[in-house]
Amino acid sequence: GWLAQGDMARTEQLARRSLTRATGGGDRPREAMARALLSYVNYATNRSEGVVQEAREALRIWSAHEADFSDDAAIATLARGATTLAY
């Protein structure tokens, strides 16, 4: 995808669109994954204001709605959110 190609602008655009759709539809796993991705994009583009906020929210959503997550969605959210916070 765009992230693997290093295109952060397109990655952010896609993540924001996914976040809008997920929050509108009540899709908590997708919302958490989008927030974790936005956290990483903020980190990769040196915008520190959104890094911790988005990562923590992604992890909070996972914690509150763990049963709604497939294994893949949980791994994607936890890996990206926690890794970004570790930096």
Residue 1 is predicted with a pLDDT of: 67
Q: Quote the pTM value.
A: 0.89
Predicted local confidence at residue 72, as pLDDT: 95
pLDDT at position 22, please?
A: 98
pLDDT of residue 47: 87
The pLDDT confidence band at residue 55, using thresholds 50, 70 and 90, is very high
Number of H helices, E strands in the chain: 4, 0
Polymer length in residues for the chain: 87
Q: What is the pLDDT of residues 74-86, one digit of tens each?
A: 999 999 998 888 8
Residue 78 neighbours by CB distance under 10 Å: 17
